[in-house]
Amino acid sequence: MSSETKQILTTDGIPLEVSLKKAEKKNKIKAFLLVAPLLLFLVITYIFPIGDMFMRSVDDKMITNMLPKTFKAMEKWENLEELPPEEVYQSFYEDYKLLAENQQHGKLGQRLNKEKNGFNTITKKLFRQIKRKKIDESISIKEQINKLHKRWRNVEYWLAIKRTAPPYTVAKYLKGMDMYFDSDGSITQVEEDRRIHRILWLRTLEIAFFVTLFSFFMGYPIAHLLATLPMKYSNLLMICVLLPFWTSLLVRTASWMILLQQQGLVNDFFVMIGLVGDDNRPEMMYNKVGTYVAMTQILLPFMVLPLYSVMKTISPSLMRAGKSLGGTPFVAFWKVYFPLTIPGIGAGCLLVFILAIGYYITPALVGGASGTLISNQIAFHMKTTLDWSFASAMGLMLLTGVLVIYWIYNKLVGVDNIKLG
Amino acid sequence: MSKNPEFVKFDKVDKSYDGKVLVVKDLQLDIAEGEFITMLGPSGSGKTTCLMMLAGFETPTHGEILLDGNIISNIPPHKRGIGMVFQNYALFPHMTVYENLAFPLRVRKVEKDEIDKKVDKALSMVSLNGFETRMPAQLSGGQQQRVAVARALVFDPAVVLMDEPLGALDKNLRESMQYEIKHIHESIGVTVVYVTHDQSEALTMSNRIAVFNDGKVQQLSNPAELYEKPVNSFVAEFIGENNTFNGEIVDIDKDKCKVKLANSEILANPISVKSKGEKTTVSLRPERALINPSEKMDNMFTGKIEEVIYHGDHTRVRLNLLGSSEFILKVPNSTSNLELKVSQDINIGWNSIDARALDPK
């Protein structure tokens, strides 16, 4: 085939393609103007905050700006096994003096203390010396500082300062995975009994996985009923499914607490029918059972609705055809009906899993100690420790996790197969 | 082997969905082996319900359905071995044409080689060889229809049910599919129960037609008899076109009766009238009334042309005759065409044997 097709002209001699583009340009501008407010809204409320979050999570400029001369002098510090040369001490002293005058020295101490324990004490000591004007600037600063505390004579502490030089760091991400940079700059795992974040990540995944599984097994038959029942019953059932949507999350969680506690309604019922003894009531709250029950109930509509919308489009004559061709009801279901619902299953599972992975209030309230998930940790760092950059880093790790799951799903099922309704 | 005249038997079958209205009333119907029988009727007449009961998707409220002498009312659909073609084809959209056809064979645990052979045979029957790997969505409506027919036949069922299978096709395709299905039936000799509301489809394809109305079979006979000799005014009205006169019997003997209309009298053939004074509806096919008949006919009247509609192969003429302005004539398009003009008076004649005096409407 020749690629040089003859150019078609319109009646007034303009090439057809050009005139088509011209004609469509107006429509394109109109369409763009229609979505522009939403786009702007998304950029302001979504893209920008995520970018800001990312910047925060890697930002380490504070200390870079506090000790500019020190870091410049440290570039000439070659033998890292020995204490830095006089210039470094000199520059550090000048930087610190300036900070002390501006009342910024406390922040530096705290920040360095995070890098290596014990910094707070020795910087305070230095501050007091400067305040009392005990440092003689005409003789060696190095010797005077070294005399203040034995830690100043330890090269580890100077190396710690040097490590804070780059304006960006991935330390927060490492911390999120229970790892850190040790004194020689290599990545090391924290001691086994302090690996708290890894447990939280795994627990979050585990709970999200099982909640998705339970929602699927409960939601599939409900969605099927909804799609096949006559209108007057299916409407009622639909209201029952949607009812949780119309109730506040906190109210629903609180009512699960009333139901599941040891003196709660469910336990009372078990005792009444003689399933368990009165003195032997099982704990259904402040453990994983409570988290599973409450989260499954709350997330169930997100599974049912996509499934329902897909099932609604499957003609009942397909199942009939399957049966009339000789398939048992199970074969007809498994070979005909089930494959056709996969787009709905994909959409429902993805929705529930992603929502569950970021769940926070419900597991915290009904899950007890085992209900602490990664999002609780993020909230903790946002509100209590005020380590926003760590919270941002973990938030982004969560986001990345979700994107990875989405990517895997796309590889397995294909995003085009998602059907939300 | 002689053919079983009662291969499928509906024995006093009643069906009600809500316990108030009977959708099918006391149905008694025998279908012979190898027969092509059509259930014809307006929507809501119970014909599809009968088909669904035969397929096993609905259970009779009362009575039994027998297949080859065995009661099947309690056998689930998948064990009945009845092929079915659905209204909207019901092809499995996630399977290729091959997989669709192989489905009934795979669930029957047929060997792979055997499956290939049978699928190939079924596809060549509907002339769709080479389409094995296509998905149903990649086929045209007519091709999907043929796949559905092939799928219903591929496992050699004793009976094939077709539920308005051509309803979604355009007119030309529908007509060619009618012949195709008829030829398939003739070549493999399977029993076909066909449901439609299209009377011309029923007349073209069937050995016998059961006309349904109001949950009952109104008439069961071959197409020619159904058209020529309708037994009641519903059938006369439903099949083909029909001129009717409402009147009262004033004189009756064995094969002739005199019917008094509003202001004249005509001679008719008494079918469902027995005695004087009965009300009746006389039915006359438009093509049986002639303009200026050359032979002598026992009903001769003069009417006034109200409307002339050109139809290509024939011309329809609406007349004001015997006090009714709805009398239709069909004039074939021939070289000796008459001059037909509106408000012209013409002579019309027909034989009393073609004017069937049926039950009053």
Query: Is A183 a residue whose pLDDT tops 70?
Result: no
| Residue bearing tokens 């032979």 | B295
- Does B203 lie in the same domain as B290? no
* C-alpha distances in Å from residue A277, one per residue of A249, A260, A265: 32, 16, 15
- Cβ distance of B90 and A320 shorter than 8 Å: yes
Rounded to an integer, what distance in angstroms lies between the CA atom of residue B134 and that of residue A330?
26
- Cβ distance of A322 and B103 shorter than 8 Å: yes
Closest to A126 (Cα-Cα) out of A70, A168, A57: A70
**Is B263 part of any domain?**
yes
Q: Tokens for A223?
A: 């969605």
Query: Is A146 a residue whose pLDDT tops 70?
Result: yes
| Residue bearing tokens 């969505």 | B137
Query: Is B26 a residue whose pLDDT tops 70?
Result: yes
- Does B247 lie in the same domain as B224? no
Residue among A318, A324, A331 minimizing CB distance to B84: A324
In contact, B231 and B272? CB cutoff 8 Å: yes
Query: Is A4 a residue whose pLDDT tops 60?
Result: no
**Average pLDDT of the residues in A316-333:** 89
From A337's Cα to the closest Cα of chain B, the distance in A is 9
- What is the secondary structure of B140-177 as a DSSP string? -HHHHHHHHHHHHHTT--SEEEEESTTTTS-HHHHHHH
B159-163 sheet: strands from edge to edge: B82-85, B159-163, B191-196, B36-40, B208-213, B216-221
pLDDT of residue A287: 83
Spell out which chain A residues touch chain B, with contact meaning CB-CB distance below 8 angstroms. 315, 317-318, 320-329, 331-332, 335-336, 339-340
Interface test with A, best of B78, B119, B193 (most A CBs within 10 A): B78
- Those residues whose C-beta lies under 8 Å from the C-beta of residue A160, and which sit 6 or more positions away, are A112, A115, A116, A119, A183
**Is B2 part of any domain?**
no
- Cβ distance of A328 and B78 shorter than 8 Å: yes
Categorize the per-residue pLDDT at A35 as very low, low, confident or very high, splitting at 50, 70 and 90. Answer: very high
Per CB-CB distance under 8 Å, the chain B contacts of A340 are: 93-94
Rounded to an integer, what distance in angstroms lies between the CA atom of residue A51 and that of residue A186?
28
Q: DSSP 3-state assignment of B326?
A: strand
- Residues making up chain A, counted from first to last: 421
ipTM, 2 dp:
0.78
Rounded to an integer, what distance in angstroms lies between the CA atom of residue B131 and that of residue B96?
9
Per CB-CB distance under 8 Å, the chain A contacts of B56 are: 323-324
Digit-coded pLDDT (tens) for A185-243: 678 788 878 888 888 899 899 999 999 999 999 999 999 999 988 888 888 888 888 88
| Residue bearing tokens 């086929």 | B139
**Is B1 part of any domain?**
no
CATH number at residue B319: 2.40.50.140
For B338, the domain range is 241-358
From B77's Cα to the closest Cα of chain A, the distance in A is 5
Nearest CA in chain A to B54: A324
- Does B137 lie in the same domain as B271? no
pLDDT of residue B267: 81
- Does B255 lie in the same domain as B203? no
Digit-coded pLDDT (tens) for B125-177: 888 888 888 899 888 888 898 899 899 988 888 899 998 888 778 888 888 88
pLDDT of residue B1: 45
Q: Which one of B194, B209, B233 terminates a domain?
A: B233
Rounded to an integer, what distance in angstroms lies between the CA atom of residue A290 and that of residue A254?
12
Rounded to an integer, what distance in angstroms lies between the CA atom of residue A395 and that of residue A344?
28
- Does B253 lie in the same domain as B161? no
- Does B229 lie in the same domain as B113? yes
**Is B89 part of any domain?**
yes
- Does B154 lie in the same domain as B116? yes
Q: Tokens for A61?
A: 């400029």
Per CB-CB distance under 8 Å, the chain A contacts of B104 are: 325-327
Which residue intervals of A194-315 are DSSP H helices?
Answer: 196-228, 231-242, 249-260, 265-272, 288-312
- How many structural domains does chain B have? 2
- Does B91 lie in the same domain as B178? yes
**8-state DSSP, B43:** T
**Average pLDDT of the residues in B205-227:** 87
- Those residues whose C-beta lies under 8 Å from the C-beta of residue B273, and which sit 6 or more positions away, are B249, B252, B257, B280, B357, B358, B359
- Cβ distance of A325 and B56 shorter than 8 Å: no
Find which of A6-10, A110-114, A184-188 is predicted with most confidence, using mean pLDDT: A110-114
Average pLDDT of chain A, as a whole number: 84
- Does B120 lie in the same domain as B85? yes
**Is B188 part of any domain?**
yes
pTM for this entry: 0.76
Query: Is A184 a residue whose pLDDT tops 70?
Result: no
Residue among A318, A326, A336 minimizing CB distance to B78: A326
Residue among B86, B94, B161 minimizing CB distance to A339: B94
Q: Which one of B233, B259, B283 terminates a domain?
A: B233
Digit-coded pLDDT (tens) for A46-102: 889 889 888 888 887 888 888 888 888 888 888 878 888 888 888 888 888 888 888
* C-alpha distances in Å from residue A359, one per residue of A190, A203, A208, A302, A401: 27, 12, 9, 14, 14
Digit-coded pLDDT (tens) for A339-368: 999 888 988 998 899 899 888 888 888 887
Per CB-CB distance under 8 Å, the chain B contacts of A327 are: 78, 103-104, 107
Please give the single-letter amino acid code of residue B14: D
**Long-range residue pairs from A346-349, CB within 8 A, at least 24 positions apart, any chain:** A346/A409, A346/A413, A346/A417, A346/A418, A347/A306, A347/A310, A347/A418, A347/A419, A347/A420, A348/A215, A348/A216, A348/A219, A348/A302, A348/A303, A348/A304, A348/A305, A348/A306, A348/A307, A349/A212, A349/A216, A349/A303
- Does B245 lie in the same domain as B224? no
The radius of gyration computed from the CA coordinates of chain B, to the nearest angstrom, equals: 24
In sequence order, the β-bridge partners of residue B252 are: B257
**8-state DSSP, B35:** -
**Is B45 part of any domain?**
yes
From A253's Cα to the closest Cα of chain B, the distance in A is 41
**Is B120 part of any domain?**
yes
Per CB-CB distance under 8 Å, the chain A contacts of B86 are: 317, 320-321
- Cβ distance of B90 and A328 shorter than 8 Å: no
**Is B353 part of any domain?**
yes
From A219's Cα to the closest Cα of chain B, the distance in A is 23
* C-alpha distances in Å from residue A86, one per residue of A70, A149, A182, A183, B79: 11, 17, 25, 22, 96
pLDDT of residue A416: 65
Query: Is A126 a residue whose pLDDT tops 50?
Result: yes
Extended strands (E) in chain B = 8-16, 22-31, 36-40, 62-67, 70-71, 82-85, 159-163, 191-196, 208-213, 216-221, 243-252, 257-260, 265-270, 279-284, 290-291, 299-310, 314-321, 324-332, 345-350, 356-358
From B107's Cα to the closest Cα of chain A, the distance in A is 6
From B126's Cα to the closest Cα of chain A, the distance in A is 18
Burial class (CB in 10 A: 0-12, 13-18, 19+), B293: middle
Burial class (CB in 10 A: 0-12, 13-18, 19+), B355: buried
- Please give the angle made by the CA atoms of A332, A336 and A340, to the nearest 5 degrees: 145
Digit-coded pLDDT (tens) for A232-282: 888 888 888 888 778 888 888 888 888 888 888 888 888 888 888 778 888
Q: Which one of B213, B233, B253 terminates a domain?
A: B233
CATH number at residue B179: 3.40.50.300
Domains recognised in chain A with CATH numbers:
17-58 (no CATH), 61-165 (no CATH), 196-417 (1.10.3720.10)
Query: Which one has a higher pLDDT value, A312 or B256?
Result: A312
In contact, B27 and B51? CB cutoff 8 Å: no
- Does B248 lie in the same domain as B228? no
- Does B229 lie in the same domain as B248? no
**Average pLDDT of the residues in B25-41:** 88
Query: Is A3 a residue whose pLDDT tops 70?
Result: no
